[in-house]
Structure 1
């Protein structure tokens, strides 16, 4: 199998990966990830894409031109399977559908979120973000700067998938594997006739995907716990080659899934220890500030701090679910405190 290391987008090229599978790098404007790897899987009735890339003219040119360079016509695409609803994966699905008549499929839980996004006005989104940041304990002067802009919602799916469903791909066996965590409806796609797994953002070769909880103070979900369980499930699929949505193709997805799980378990232990050393309950913002990120907290831009707070909240929720910390009742901002071990 062809394999690449992470290089700038300018050095990326469409690739024939063999076995009727191709990859096309599609740029993500203004994002340090650089690009999404969109995959095409051949079938007698036309290729099916795994993800589609960000909705931007440069991205569309890269996707349609990259497919053409591989001898594929975007107008012949049969369908687009979206691993999850984020804009760097689902953004161009609607344009592919317009060009080819293709269907769009995603997991039913992400489909429900997309429908909600279409009903949610931009002003409501801003109010939601502002209140969420306030309840997390963000500095009032920082709330406005920490609010990100909402991208346009992706196209509504035509088909909804559940765990174990086979994608409509004649002559091949491409099965949806529900791997919640990064989003509630994230799926990996197991190409069973080739021992390959399209991992989306669930398992990446070098970085770990963002696992956040929104709003930060929800107490009815545990996305990090779901993610850790999903990593175990992927590991049980056996020895598979991983075709991720970012970075590079790699061998043995189970080994990498185990590494990522270990990373988060260590992070949970460190966080519980830090909280036990504090004499008072802490806000989500205070917890995020004392965690380790890829740069010091003081150097993080406000929008990145808001993402860090989402990830801190997910770790707090898992610790709460495990009975290692408690949520202080009836306080605003919400606060958490370590329990005696």
Structure 2
């Protein structure tokens, strides 16, 4: 059974307010950092006491209000920004990695992340190329020029996002202990280099976006990828469920207990999703990825799934189709634009 342990966090989530800074265990705090304009509302940054300062797990969204919340949150824990010695990044997305470079500039802290996510940052160094690649990706999925205009954004938008993506000082591999008592667990899927951090003595899992209490992380097959991110996610999810964790500290929403049951629920969710996608392909042979995404069940009507969230929904649909193709259940017709049929 999944049991909510972050009761104040869940109450704040239900009120649509920011939760308080909390002492989770002696020497371990959660600091909510706002994500203005995002349905996720905030990211939970974790601060771990060190003999000579403090380490952060993730850093927050690269905005002024997020920066203020991070600085004030550290002060509530008894630390100044200059006390930060390390930033362990679960994955490269801006709500987690965005402020890491600014923290390093202010404190001299080192930044650590998995090598595959470090490579993803380098792959986004050219905003113009990114916009061109993602526009072609949208069209290949069956999107129109109007879909490109709605879901891709401008070169200027991309440049602003990419300026916040600081390259790491250290690469953290699976099984490594970047801090005493903290073991890195490589959990690909949401990103290729996603890391969880396992506190072995206190039996705590800092799960990033890999295991969340209420929703499944977005699993997208990005432009240029030829892998099976959903397959990677399901495999790493199984390994995560084998950890002896009494409590899960996710990057969004609220803390909870019952890791194995939550892992089982996520497996069941994706099994249902794969079955739904297969039924749609059978009912509409030759449909594009975009058309199939429009017909899938989402948490809100498709007309309300807009902008980058719509692109993420199409990417998630694409990841499920690719996983089914690798299992021999469906096949993609030749051509630039996706067309799917049962194999």
Correspondence 1:314 to 2:319: yes
Q: 150-159 vs 79-88, which deviates more?
A: 150-159
Cα separation, 1, equivalents of 2:57 and 2:296: 34
Alignment CA distance shift 1:222-1:137 (3 Å) = same
Q: 1:19-68 deviations in whole A, cap 9, x for unaligned? A: 31001100112111111100011121221100000111111110011110
Partner of residue 113, structure 1: 120
The Cα shift of 1:69 comes to 1.3
Partner of residue 160, structure 1: 171
Provide TM-score, normalisation by structure 2. Answer: 0.92
Q: 1:293-341 deviations in whole A, cap 9, x for unaligned? A: 1112233224332211101000001101111001112x121212112xx
Q: Please say if residues 25 and 36 of structure 1, whose CA atoms lie closer than 8 Å, have aligned partners that are also in contact.
A: yes
Partner of residue 220, structure 2: 212
The Cα shift of 1:9 comes to 6.2
Q: 148-157 vs 177-186, which deviates more?
A: 148-157
Q: Please say if residues 240 and 254 of structure 1, whose CA atoms lie closer than 8 Å, have aligned partners that are also in contact.
A: no
Correspondence 1:268 to 2:279: no
Paired positions, count: 330
Correspondence 1:297 to 2:302: yes
Question: Following superposition, which runs of at least 4 residues in structure 1 exceed 4 angstroms of deviation?
Answer: none
Aligned mate of 2:211, from 203, 222, 236: 203
Cα separation, 1, equivalents of 2:77 and 2:140: 50
The Cα shift of 1:7 comes to 4.3
Structure 2 residues without counterparts, runs of 5 or longer: none
Cα separation, 1, equivalents of 2:292 and 2:52: 52
The Cα shift of 1:11 comes to 4.1
Q: RMSD in angstroms over aligned alpha carbons?
A: 1.6
Cα separation, 2, equivalents of 1:8 and 1:94: 32
The Cα shift of 1:275 comes to 1.1
Cα separation, 2, equivalents of 1:94 and 1:128: 26
Cα separation, 1, equivalents of 2:16 and 2:47: 19
Partner of residue 131, structure 1: 136
Cα separation, 2, equivalents of 1:302 and 1:89: 20
Aligned mate of 2:336, from 319, 332, 336: 332
Cα separation, 2, equivalents of 1:19 and 1:282: 54
Partner of residue 53, structure 1: 60
Provide TM-score, normalisation by structure 1. Answer: 0.93
